[in-house]
Amino acid sequence: MLQVLNATGPIYLLVALGFVLTRTGVFHRAQIMALGLFISKVALPCLIGGTLARSDPRKVLNPTYLTTYGLASLAAFGAGVAVAMLIWKLKLTPAAFVGMGAGGSNSAFMGYPIALSIVPQAAGLSLGMNAMIEMIILIPLILLLADLGAAGSGWTALRRAAIGLFKNPILIGVFLGLIWSFTPFELPGVLNSTLLLVGAATSPVALIYCGGMLVGLNPRKELGRAAVISAMKLLLHPALAMGVLWLLTTLGMPALEPQMRTALLITAALPCFMAGPIYASKHGLAEGASAAVAVSTIMSFFTLSALIAFLH
């Protein structure tokens, strides 16, 4: 257990540092948001693009990983929507964001740093495949349902989602890295070194950003629902990933290498998607989404540590 805490402790200490720096006024909210923009628009695209460009495309497009993560995330999302609509009697728009909480992992800002400390050889590849599932399938689906529930036009929502895909820097990094991986050429030395240097900033800055974004969140008003959403995210999502992975390999799909399997299960067990409150704010639902992010992030210290101890 001490070995697990040695691996996860620095992750949560950096999250705590970000919280303290923001709470005490060393960083202001706008400065923390700027860190998030740097990560999402510069560091992550460089990290993912460089990692994929240096990789064997057969490993980059791992059908077992992509199918397992995609199906498990959609199933957790569906479970969240079902709970929201059938038990809590919510309408489609708030139900879509409950589904986002249950099935949307904070894979970029917390997942990569944790994977890097536990399974470093698989961290970059898993990050790239996570981005494909989240940015191409999960997030557009959530935003589409949220817009439809708000009496929006389905075509307008689809068009907005499609435009967002083509303008997303992370997906641009994914596509460029994938294209380069199919060529016989190595990255030029200067470009490779630059991508490595910028990408190396991802982990510590992302964790400080996560901590800073927790400042000002007040989960008390939505504590009951936030606890349920967090339980679905931290317990149901990884359980679904384990079940789907077992089913797919039983049906004959290639088994994952141990490091990729660990990276997959860690990703599924991550806290709620950090940008969820930003998307939800458009519909006046930021408070509930923020509560789920805060509660799941705190609870994940215990659940993730337990999962990593189990996997090791």
Whole-number pLDDT of residue 158: 64
- Say if residue 33's pLDDT is above 90: no
| Between residues 85 and 165, the one the model is more confident about | 85
Residue 68's closest CA among 233, 312, 261? Answer: 261
Across the chain, mean pLDDT equals 88
- Say if residue 88's pLDDT is above 80: yes
**CA 184 → CA 49, 51, 54, 103, 199, distances in Å?**
16, 15, 11, 37, 23
When divided into structural domains, the chain yields a total of: 1
Burial bucket for residue 216 (CB in 10 Å: 0-12, 13-18, 19+): exposed
**Which alpha helices (H) appear in the chain, and where do they start and end?**
2-23, 29-38, 44-53, 57-60, 63-82, 92-103, 112-118, 120-133, 139-149, 154-167, 169-181, 189-199, 202-213, 223-231, 237-250, 258-268, 276-281, 286-311
For residues 139 and 171, the answer to whether their CB atoms sit within 8 Å is no
What is the rounded average pLDDT of the residues 143-163? 70
Give the whole-angstrom CA distance, residue 116 versus residue 120: 4
Max mean pLDDT among 108-117, 152-161, 228-237 falls in: 228-237
pLDDT one-digit tens code per residue, 259-305: 999 999 999 999 998 878 878 877 888 778 888 988 999 999 999 99
| Between residues 204 and 60, the one the model is more confident about | 204
What is the rounded average pLDDT of the residues 170-181? 89
- Say if residue 35's pLDDT is above 80: yes
Q: Residue 146: which CATH number?
A: 1.20.1530.20
CA dihedral 162, 166, 169, 170 (to 10 degrees): 60
Give the whole-angstrom CA distance, residue 215 versus residue 233: 21
The range of the structural domain enclosing residue 159 comes to: 2-311
| Between residues 139 and 231, the one the model is more confident about | 231
For residues 268 and 241, the answer to whether their CB atoms sit within 8 Å is yes
What is the rounded average pLDDT of the residues 149-164? 65
- Say if residue 153's pLDDT is above 60: no
- Say if residue 183's pLDDT is above 80: yes
Whole-number pLDDT of residue 251: 96
Give the whole-angstrom CA distance, residue 245 versus residue 137: 19
Listed in sequence order, the residues at least 6 apart from 231 whose beta carbon sits closer than 8 Å to its beta carbon are none
Whole-number pLDDT of residue 260: 96
Whole-number pLDDT of residue 274: 82
What is the rounded average pLDDT of the residues 100-114? 91
What is the rounded average pLDDT of the residues 175-198? 91
Secondary structure class of 272 (helix, strand, coil): strand
Q: Is the dihedral of CA 281, 283, 285, 290 positive or negative?
A: negative
For residues 240 and 268, the answer to whether their CB atoms sit within 8 Å is yes
Secondary structure class of 105 (helix, strand, coil): strand
% of the chain with per-residue pLDDT over 70: 93
What is the rounded average pLDDT of the residues 76-86? 97
Whole-number pLDDT of residue 165: 65
Whole-number pLDDT of residue 192: 93
Render 227-268 in DSSP notation, one character per residue: HHHHHIIIIIHHHHHHHHHHHHHHTTPPPPPHHHHHHHHHHH
Secondary structure class of 151 (helix, strand, coil): coil
Cα first-last separation, the chain? 10
pLDDT one-digit tens code per residue, 215-258: 877 666 678 899 999 999 999 999 999 999 999 999 999 999 99
Whole-number pLDDT of residue 26: 94
For residues 207 and 14, the answer to whether their CB atoms sit within 8 Å is yes
